[in-house]
Chains A and B, each alone.
Chain A
């Protein structure tokens, strides 16, 4: 150190307890190991999820420095990003090799590193395997009020459980493995309050896309968002995870929804959730995790749910959102010159002409999956649209990638896989897949994809791929009609 830094354990504990606090402040305060004079806090990390892509360099650095993992039981490792979604065993049950040697080496590294450092590892062939952000809540590893990190920006997802969850880089992965803490500056707090009810056929995905369109891709930078309002209280955990998942697309490192009876009911009996007397103690604590009356947010955004329609993106930033009844915007409509330049570039990349109705945009690919929308409710919503229908002839490739092996098994129990395959979809093994196009699942250059994932960046789903973000029901509607379509006009009334 260049100078001595005084360190005070849990400053102002007593004062903190008496002043009204936001949910974010409560979770933050409960995890401060100590605060440095420069304001940086050492924050305890309760849960750490590790996958194959952002961890090898961290494990290697630990090995070189001869450092152990401080609390191996607080980390859970599972491969997802780079794993092919084709069958993992042959007809005789033997494990199939991974064709791409680099992917195989990266996956093998995790398989070796996790047990070598004493970390629980879920293998690619286990039924519990899946996308980290699906597996965490599903296993009861992600709990309300905990701090959760992962070398993946969509860690914000776990905020749907009432956890303070955020993505970290590989150096921070190493830091958490070695010390179970992170050095952090407290973020500002933003309330996104949604009043009223969502209309029929409007989903959690449409709402969060609408919110991002309103606050912008950088609007949440430096903030932790808390989503508030009866709409969120009525949501299932799956829907809350979808909302919090995309907080990062508004620039916010984390998003939160206060835990409640829905959260507790979801968690009870999950393999890694507290049980017995622990359960009662945990629930008693979780009930204190809400923003106090009178607590102040640094910023407030109010949204009227009635104005939200099924949403689609037209550009290459998640803020490029329009209602399905809308049109491709004209660069001239934007006040800011740098945004005009960005819009021109986006439209050029997307091959779209200003003024085109979104429902006139044809689609060649449909991807249903990703940590945003690959849980059982998402698959049910898509299947409800596809039941008794078939994808349009111009849709060349349509795949469903369940978020985990357990989601896949449940969907198969409910017969959803047969609805998908009858509609012309491929039914795949769990993983990240075409969300980031790292494994062989890619959208061909110049083709469009109606995708339930979270990023429409240039080249995200494969070089030259053109992504339109939508909800699962809207992806199914696009598959059936061969173009972006308003699912509300397809007359879907019941569950499959």
Chain B
């Protein structure tokens, strides 16, 4: 995974609440067996509207997306994170995120930044003026050219993974002995739990 330390640049002021993952990437794009190329389908319905904010040339290449409450709700499809990544988005700022989406985002090198609604409103204004926003994961701050400075939090494990581009599977594989010990105890205490389909 590509490490993420600091992201500097324009932001797309989407601003909508309850942006579900069906909006981020509609079902017809889920027939793929690859992670690539999903940017083409990102926000397809929204982008069918003339003058939509995603395709507005003013925000071309912006690495930040600003949205309303409950961003990424609905379906667990990781295709949503892949599609945003393919669009070049590295940071999403919103007052809240769905649990599943924020996990998927981090695993794909995308940082979910939770800020209060008034901070998000302020950043929406800055974005609309075409001014850049800086998101710094080292210092856990979002800053603007107008001296705004908003602090955010991220759980230390996710922060560590993002800063260092760590792969969770590698980390867990290194704990093989602990998992094995758990399974041994389980197999002797509750063998029926370990049978699964092999009953």
Q: Which residues of A contact B (CB under 8 A)?
A: 1-3, 7, 9, 33-34, 36, 38-40, 42, 44, 46-47, 53-54, 56-57, 60, 65, 67, 70-71, 73-76, 81-82, 100, 102-103, 105-106, 109, 119-120, 141, 143, 146, 151-153, 155, 166-172, 174-175, 178-181, 183, 185, 187, 217-218, 221-222, 248, 251, 253, 271-275, 278-279, 281-282, 285, 317, 319, 338-339, 341-342, 345, 436-438, 455, 457-460, 463
- Bound together, the chains give a CA A36 to CA B174 distance in angstroms of 13
Contact A179 B160 (CB under 8 A): no
Q: Which residues of B contact A (CB under 8 A)?
A: 15-18, 20, 22-23, 26-28, 30-35, 45, 68-70, 73-79, 81, 96-100, 103-104, 107-108, 117, 155-157, 160, 163-164, 166, 168-169, 171-173, 175-176, 178-179, 181-183, 186, 190-199
- Bound together, the chains give a CA A76 to CA B73 distance in angstroms of 26
**In whole Å, how far is A24's beta carbon from the nearest beta carbon of chain B?**
14
Contact B69 A438 (CB under 8 A): no
With beta carbons under 8 angstroms apart, the residue of B73, B166, B172 that contacts A179 is B172
Given contacts A2-B164, A47-B196, 17 further A-B contacts (CB under 8 A): A44-B182, A73-B197, A82-B30, A105-B31, A151-B76, A168-B100, A169-B107, A171-B78, A171-B104, A185-B157, A217-B73, A248-B74, A251-B73, A271-B199, A338-B117, A438-B27, A463-B26
Nearest B residue to A223 via CB reads: B99
With beta carbons under 8 angstroms apart, the residue of A42, A271, A279 that contacts B172 is A42
Contacts of A119 in B (CB 8 A): 197
Contact A153 B74 (CB under 8 A): yes
Contacts of B68 in A (CB 8 A): 338
Contact B103 A38 (CB under 8 A): no
Can you offer 17 A-B residue contacts whose CB atoms are under 8 A?
A38-B157, A82-B31, A103-B31, A141-B196, A151-B78, A152-B75, A170-B104, A180-B179, A183-B171, A221-B99, A272-B196, A273-B199, A281-B190, A338-B17, A342-B16, A342-B17, A438-B28
Contacts of A152 in B (CB 8 A): 75-76
Contacts of A2 in B (CB 8 A): 160, 163-164
CB contact under 8 A between A143 and B193, given known A38-B155, A153-B76, A459-B22: yes
Can you list the 8 inter-chain pairs with the closest CB atoms, starting with the nearest?
Answer: A169-B78, A56-B33, A218-B70, A169-B104, A167-B76, A278-B192, A73-B198, A274-B192
- Bound together, the chains give a CA A279 to CA B79 distance in angstroms of 40
**In whole Å, how far is B131's beta carbon from the nearest beta carbon of chain A?**
22
With beta carbons under 8 angstroms apart, the residue of A34, A67, A103, A221 that contacts B98 is A221
Contact A106 B175 (CB under 8 A): no
Contact A178 B169 (CB under 8 A): yes
Contacts of A272 in B (CB 8 A): 195-197, 199
CB contact under 8 A between A34 and B193, given known A218-B18, A218-B73: no
**In whole Å, how far is B23's beta carbon from the nearest beta carbon of chain A?**
6
Contacts of A106 in B (CB 8 A): 31-33
Residue of A36, A67, A218 contacting most chain B CB atoms (<10 Å): A218
- Bound together, the chains give a CA A425 to CA B197 distance in angstroms of 36
- Bound together, the chains give a CA A338 to CA B172 distance in angstroms of 41
Contact B33 A253 (CB under 8 A): no
Contact A221 B96 (CB under 8 A): yes
Contacts of A185 in B (CB 8 A): 155, 157
Nearest B residue to A252 via CB reads: B99
Contacts of A46 in B (CB 8 A): 193, 196
- Bound together, the chains give a CA A46 to CA B98 distance in angstroms of 24
Contact A71 B196 (CB under 8 A): yes
- Bound together, the chains give a CA A252 to CA B26 distance in angstroms of 22
**In whole Å, how far is A222's beta carbon from the nearest beta carbon of chain B?**
6
CB contact under 8 A between A457 and B108, given known A73-B197, A171-B168: no
Nearest B residue to A177 via CB reads: B169
**In whole Å, how far is B160's beta carbon from the nearest beta carbon of chain A?**
6
**In whole Å, how far is A140's beta carbon from the nearest beta carbon of chain B?**
8
Residue of B23, B28, B117 contacting most chain A CB atoms (<10 Å): B28
Contact A7 B178 (CB under 8 A): yes
Nearest B residue to A46 via CB reads: B193
Contact B155 A73 (CB under 8 A): no
Contact B198 A175 (CB under 8 A): no
- Bound together, the chains give a CA A437 to CA B29 distance in angstroms of 11
Contact A179 B173 (CB under 8 A): yes
**In whole Å, how far is B62's beta carbon from the nearest beta carbon of chain A?**
21
With beta carbons under 8 angstroms apart, the residue of A44, A57, A459 that contacts B45 is A459
Contact B166 A34 (CB under 8 A): no
Contacts of A102 in B (CB 8 A): 31-32
- Bound together, the chains give a CA A285 to CA B189 distance in angstroms of 11
- Bound together, the chains give a CA A2 to CA B150 distance in angstroms of 26
With beta carbons under 8 angstroms apart, the residue of A39, A170, A438 that contacts B31 is A438
**In whole Å, how far is B155's beta carbon from the nearest beta carbon of chain A?**
6
Contacts of B77 in A (CB 8 A): 53-54, 169
With beta carbons under 8 angstroms apart, the residue of A60, A70, A285 that contacts B33 is A60
Nearest B residue to A38 via CB reads: B156
- Bound together, the chains give a CA A460 to CA B25 distance in angstroms of 11
Nearest A residue to B191 via CB reads: A278
CB contact under 8 A between A9 and B81, given known A455-B22, A457-B20, A458-B22: no
Contacts of B164 in A (CB 8 A): 1-2
Contact B23 A458 (CB under 8 A): yes
- Bound together, the chains give a CA A244 to CA B83 distance in angstroms of 29
Contacts of B193 in A (CB 8 A): 46, 143, 146, 282
CB contact under 8 A between A9 and B107, given known A71-B196, A106-B31: no
**In whole Å, how far is B96's beta carbon from the nearest beta carbon of chain A?**
6
Nearest A residue to B161 via CB reads: A183
**In whole Å, how far is B39's beta carbon from the nearest beta carbon of chain A?**
16
Contact B178 A33 (CB under 8 A): yes
Nearest A residue to B155 via CB reads: A185
